[in-house]
C-alpha cells in the first residue's frame, strides 16, 4: 500500500512538472495585419522585419550568459507572418478571417486606429460566438484612447502609449517653453488625428492658457501629396509651433514642404523617427522637430546593440519598441498560465509587470493599456554621446526629458466585460 501511494505521488509530481512546461517548444503562430503596399507600405514593411528579427531573439529558452538571446520563460517558439490590409478596415476584416481559418490565435496590428477599432470589435464578437477558439488582439501602435476607454475589450491589449498619455507628456514639456505662444494643429482626418487635436487643446488650456490656437486643419490620410498649401496657411497664421499626429508619408511630406516653404517654426510630433521622415527632415529640422514617444534611437544598452544588428542585417532602422514588449509579455504570461491558450494567456497578462528595455512596465488590468515611461527628444546632429543615425542622415533624436509612468498615465472609463 505504501509503495502504491509512493508511486502515485511520484506520478503526480511528474505530471505537475510536465504540465508546467507543457508548452515548451510549442510554436505560437502570429499574424500582423498592416499595410505593406501603397504610400504607407514602407512603414509596415519595416515593422514586419522587426517582428521576424525579434521572434528569433525571443523564441525558446534563454541562452545562459547571452543577453542577445533572451528567449522566453515558457520556452515557446514564435512565428510571425504578415498580411497586407492596404490600410483598409474592410481588407483587415478579410485578413482576420483568413488568419483565423489558418489556425492563428494571436493577431497583431498597429497602423491606423480606424483599423484597430474594427479589428477589436470583430475579435470580440468572434470570441463570443466561438468559445474554445478565442483570439487575442495585440495592438503595437494604434493610439486612439477609445480603444481602452469606451470601446475597450478583454481581448485587446495596447503596447503603445495612447494619444492622451503622449499629449499629457508633450504639453508638460511645451508648458515650460516660454517662446511658444501660437500653435497650429494639423492632423490626419481620422480618429487619431481628431484625438490629437482635441487633447492638445484641452491640455494646453489647462497648463498654458496663454498659448493661442491660431489654426486647425484635418486632411485625408495617405492621400495628400503636396502640403505646400497647408504650410502657407500655417505661415499666414503667425504660428510659431505646429502640433501634428501625422505619421508615415503624411509627416515626411509635411516636413519636406515646411523646409521648402521656408517655415522655421517648431514641430511637435508623435512619429518623427518613423520610416521616411528622418530623410525628409535632413539637417533643416535640427533643433526644431520634437518627438514624444516611449523610446528613441539612443536608448543605449542591449537595445542599442539590437538596433545596430538590425541595421546591419536589413539596412533599415528599428523603431517600434512595442514589438519587443509583445514578445516579453507573451513569454511571461504563457509561463505564468502554463499554457498558450488565449483565454488563459489574456488573464495572465492582466496586471502583469515586467522589466523591459527602459525599466518596469505594467499592463493595467482595468483597460489593458501598458503603463510605461515616455521621452521627449529633438532632432539634432548625431554625436559621440548620441551616435545612432536613422536613414544615414548624420542626424538623430536626442533625448531631452523622461516622463515616468505615473506622469503620463491617464484615467480610463473602461467597463470591461470579461469572459466567465
The three cell numbers locating residue 17: 512538472
Domain limits for position 147: 20-161+300-371
Q: Is residue 387 part of a domain?
A: yes
d(CA 276, CA 111): 15
Q: Is residue 13 part of a domain?
A: no
- The reply to whether 100 and 169 lie within a common domain is no
Q: How many domains is the chain partitioned into structurally?
A: 2
Q: Is residue 238 part of a domain?
A: yes
- Looking up residue 355, the CATH number of its domain turns out to be 3.40.50.2300
DSSP annotation of 272: T
* Cβ atoms 281, 291 nearer than 8 A: no
Q: Is residue 364 part of a domain?
A: yes
- The reply to whether 150 and 64 lie within a common domain is yes
pLDDT digits (tens, 9 = 90+) for 88-109: 999 999 999 999 999 999 999 9
pLDDT digits (tens, 9 = 90+) for 364-393: 999 999 999 999 999 999 999 999 999 999
- The reply to whether 280 and 399 lie within a common domain is yes
pLDDT digits (tens, 9 = 90+) for 389-409: 999 999 999 999 999 999 989
d(CA 204, CA 102): 48
Query: How confident is the model at residue 288, as a pLDDT?
Result: 95
* Cβ atoms 388, 307 nearer than 8 A: yes
- The reply to whether 96 and 109 lie within a common domain is yes
pLDDT digits (tens, 9 = 90+) for 167-188: 999 999 999 999 999 999 999 9
The three cell numbers locating residue 287: 533643433
Q: Is residue 100 part of a domain?
A: yes
pLDDT digits (tens, 9 = 90+) for 250-274: 999 999 999 999 999 999 999 999 9
The three cell numbers locating residue 153: 475589450
The model's confidence at residue 18, banded by pLDDT at 50, 70 and 90, is very low
State pTM to two decimals. Answer: 0.92
User: What rounded mean pLDDT belongs to the chain?
Assistant: 93
Amino acid at each position: 500500500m505504501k509503495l502504491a501511494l509512493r508511486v502515485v505521488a511520484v506520478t503526480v509530481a511528474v505530471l505537475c512538472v510536465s504540465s508546467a512546461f507543457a508548452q515548451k517548444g510549442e510554436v505560437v503562430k502570429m499574424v500582423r495585419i498592416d499595410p505593406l503596399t501603397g504610400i504607407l507600405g514602407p512603414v509596415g514593411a519595416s515593422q514586419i522585419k522587426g517582428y521576424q528579427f525579434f521572434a528569433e531573439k525571443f523564441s525558446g529558452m534563454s541562452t545562459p550568459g547571452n543577453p542577445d538571446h533572451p528567449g522566453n520563460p515558457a520556452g515557446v517558439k514564435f512565428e510571425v507572418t504578415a498580411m497586407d490590409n492596404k490600410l483598409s478596415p474592410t481588407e483587415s476584416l478579410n485578413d482576420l478571417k483568413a488568419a483565423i481559418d489558418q489556425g492563428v490565435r494571436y493577431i497583431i496590428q498597429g497602423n491606423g486606429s480606424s483599423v484597430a477599432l474594427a479589428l477589436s470589435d470583430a475579435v470580440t464578437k468572434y470570441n463570443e460566438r466561438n468559445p474554445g477558439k478565442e483570439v487575442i488582439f495585440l495592438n503595437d501602435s494604434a493610439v486612439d484612447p477609445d480603444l481602452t476607454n469606451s470601446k475597450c475589450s478583454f481581448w485587446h491589449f495596447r503596447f503603445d502609449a495612447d494619444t492622451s498619455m503622449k499629449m499629457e507628456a508633450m504639453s508638460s514639456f511645451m508648458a515650460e517653453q516660454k517662446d511658444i505662444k501660437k500653435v497650429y494643429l494639423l492632423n490626419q482626418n481620422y480618429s487619431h488625428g481628431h484625438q490629437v487635436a482635441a487633447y492638445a487643446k484641452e491640455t494646453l488650456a489647462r497648463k498654458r492658457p496663454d498659448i493661442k490656437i491660431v489654426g486647425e486643419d484635418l486632411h485625408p490620410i495617405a492621400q495628400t501629396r503636396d502640403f505646400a498649401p497647408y504650410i502657407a496657411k500655417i505661415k499666414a497664421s503667425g504660428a510659431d509651433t505646429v502640433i501634428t499626429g501625422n505619421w508615415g508619408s503624411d509627416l515626411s511630406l509635411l516636413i519636406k514642404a515646411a523646409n521648402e516653404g521656408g517655415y522655421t517654426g517648431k514641430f511637435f510630433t508623435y512619429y518623427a523617427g518613423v520610416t521616411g521622415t528622418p530623410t525628409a527632415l535632413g539637417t533643416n529640422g535640427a533643433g526644431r522637430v520634437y518627438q514624444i514617444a516611449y523610446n528613441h534611437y539612443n536608448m543605449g544598452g542591449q537595445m542599442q546593440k539590437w538596433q545596430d544588428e538590425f541595421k546591419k542585417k536589413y539596412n533599415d532602422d528599428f523603431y517600434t519598441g512595442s514589438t519587443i514588449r509583445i514578445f516579453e509579455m507573451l513569454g511571461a504570461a504563457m509561463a505564468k498560465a502554463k499554457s498558450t491558450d488565449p483565454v488563459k494567456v489574456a488573464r495572465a497578462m492582466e496586471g502583469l509587470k515586467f522589466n523591459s528595455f527602459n525599466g518596469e512596465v505594467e499592463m493595467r488590468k482595468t483597460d489593458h493599456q501598458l503603463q510605461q515611461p515616455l521621452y521627449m527628444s529633438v532632432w539634432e546632429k548625431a554625436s559621440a554621446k548620441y551616435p545612432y543615425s536613422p536613414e544615414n542622415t548624420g542626424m538623430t533624436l536626442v533625448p531631452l526629458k523622461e516622463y515616468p509612468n505615473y506622469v503620463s498615465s491617464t484615467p480610463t472609463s473602461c467597463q470591461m466585460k470579461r469572459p466567465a
